[in-house]
Every structure is written in structure tokens, then in C-alpha cells.
Amino acid sequence: MTNVHDNILGLIGNTPMVRLNQVTKHIPAKVYAKLESSNPGHSTKDRIALHIIEAAEKRGLLTPGSTIIETTSGNTGFSIAMVSIIKGYKCILSVSDKTKPEKIAYLKALGAKVYICPASVPADDPRSYYEVAKRIAKETPNSIYINQYFNELNIDAHYQSTGPEIWEQTDGKITHIFGCTGTGGTLSGSAKFLKEKNPDIKVIGVDADGSILKTYHETGKVDESEIHSYQIEGLGKNLIPGALLFDKIDEFVRVNDEDSAYRTREIALREAIMGGYTTGAVVQALIQYAQNNTLTEKDIIVLIFPDHGSRYISKVYSDDWMAEQGFSKNGFSSYDAVLKTEMEK
């Protein structure tokens, strides 16, 4: 039988790429989106969940009835919960209070126990979702803590799968790759593989306004004055993740909540792709990059679209939520005049 699997985990990886035709029409390069929402858990995090858990099984760290614990903004939690169901493990997750109720409901529907923690506290605060997960792991017998932010297997999962897929799908002709950086594993692992194939490939990380990653990449220092709350989930950090290989990234582009939100909705309107908030962020980063760098028709650019927009219906796709944030569309350039008109209808 063709394309038939023993269980849902067989669907992880080998995600498609599609060319973007409208949102990047003023950019001369060919731009392709790597649709990680095509994974069965609807995000790129399926790859690391399966890779890390199977590595733990090989080391004898997991036995039937074990508990898997992790910190998540949503997507990793979905993936871990999904893998746990198939493999017979319990799942405990700590999330920040930025996480929307429908995401928490989704996690619980997959059998996970969820702890909600304040997002506004420092990473080393006992109330942070990082520290809560660590504490639960220490208190829970027969458990492992995934620790995606500092787990080298996060990088390795994408070195083994995402990077090779992108190389093959572009016939080795890729010139630029853009990816959002939260834990950093997706972009780091992909970049590590691609740079080995061709060191001239430009790797562009996307950071959030309110995060410290861009400045740290440029200066090697943490500027705590840059830290403030922001709305984009799964992008940027107030700590330096060990899974982010800064030496594999050529440049960071920083994007803000408002531009990324409207860009997310533009992608749905213009390309019929319902992507998550980071989908808009990575396209916005490309547009900002193109304003300051020369791109030609010979360039082949790959954007990693990390997840599916269904998880953001009450957030970025909600007119009420957009209004609550005070997003006005005033910051857009003339490039976006048509989009503004359509959004205002």
C-alpha cells in the first residue's frame, strides 16, 4: 500500500514547499515557504518531539508509564503530547499566560496536564515557566525534562531532516534561508546542514521587538533594557538558548507585533495560506531585509513557516483582538496600500 503508516508519527517530516507569488511580488527573487504546518501536529516541533523522545528511549531513560515534562509556548507541547499518546507516556507542560485559551484546551484534549505561569517574570524567577518545569521534573519520579532551549537534539532533529529536505527541494540552489528564532533549533539545525553544503548560503534569523537575541548576536552581550512584553508567540527570548547556534546565522532582522500581525493576515488573503503569527513575522523580516539588501532573480529564498493559523483564530485573525492591541495599520508603507484597503473593508 502506498503512503500508508502504522500510526500518525509516520507523517512527521517531508513537508512541502510552495512558492509565494503575491506577498513578495515586489521582491525579484524566487521565494518559497516551507510549510511545517503539514506535519501531523501542525508545526515544526513534531520533528524535535519525536527525535528527542526516541533518543531518550534508546538511552533507556523512558519506560512504559514514564512522564515527559517540558516548557512550551504551545507547539512543542502539542507535539510532545501527540508523541506521548502513541508511545504510552504521561505528559506535563508549563506554559506562559500569553498562551491563548484554545491552545491550552488543545493541550488538555491531548491528555497533557498544564501549568500556566506568568510571562512577565525573569527566566530565573521560580514562577517562570522554565523554572516551574524544572521543579516539576525534580519532583516527579520516572520522568524526563525535554529542555528544548538547551537540548542539542533540538538542533540535530533539523540537521537530520529539515535542512536536507530544503537542500533537496531546491536542488541545492537555495541562496537564503529565513527562520524565526525561539529555541533556535529549527534555524540552527537547518543552517548547520545547509552551510556544510554551501557556506555562501545566507542565514537570516528573525527576532522580536522585546527580545535580546539580535543584539546578543551583534555584540555578545545581553541588553536587559531591550526586554519588554510582546505578543508574537514562539519568537524571541529573554534568555540565550543553548540550542541557538549564533555562529551559523549571518544576520538577524527584528520585527514588531503590529507589522507581523497584518503580514500574517495578508498571507491568508493573498496566498490562501493560514499560517501562525510567526508566519507573518518571517515574511515581514524578508520585506525589511529586501529594503536594505540587493536581491536578484537568481536568488532562491526559503522561509520556514513554523505552524498553522488555526491556533491563532482568537488572536491575530480576530478583528477584536487586533483592535484591543491598538493596531492601526498606520505604519505600513505604500507597498501595502492595497492590503490596507482590503483590511478596512
Phi then psi dihedrals of residue 224, to 5 deg: -65, -20
> Residue 254, Cα to own-chain centre: how many angstroms?
15
User: Which CATH number among 3.40.50.1100, 3.40.395.10, 3.20.20.80, 3.90.76.10 corresponds to the domain 8-38+161-327?
Assistant: 3.40.50.1100
For residue 246, the model assigns a pLDDT of 96
For residue 330, the model assigns a pLDDT of 58
CA dist., res. 263 & res. 178, Å (int): 15
For residue 329, the model assigns a pLDDT of 65
CA dist., res. 113 & res. 295, Å (int): 47
Question: For residues 274 and 307, is the Cβ–Cβ distance under 8 A?
Answer: no
For residue 277, the model assigns a pLDDT of 95
For residue 333, the model assigns a pLDDT of 43
Q: Of 296, 192, 194, 298, whose CA–CA distance to 245 is shortest?
A: 192
Task: Just list the catalytic residues.
Answer: 45
Same fold, 8-38+161-327 and 45-149: yes
CA dist., res. 266 & res. 196, Å (int): 34
Question: Taking the complete model, does pTM exceed 0.85, yes or no?
Answer: yes
pLDDT along the chain (345 residues), means of 10: 90 98 96 98 96 95 93 89 97 89 90 92 88 95 91 96 98 98 95 98 97 95 92 89 95 96 95 97 97 96 96 91 84 46 47
- Number of Cβ within 10 Å of residue 44's Cβ equals 34
Domain residue spans of the chain: 8-38+161-327, 45-149
CATH dotted code for 45-149: 3.40.50.1100
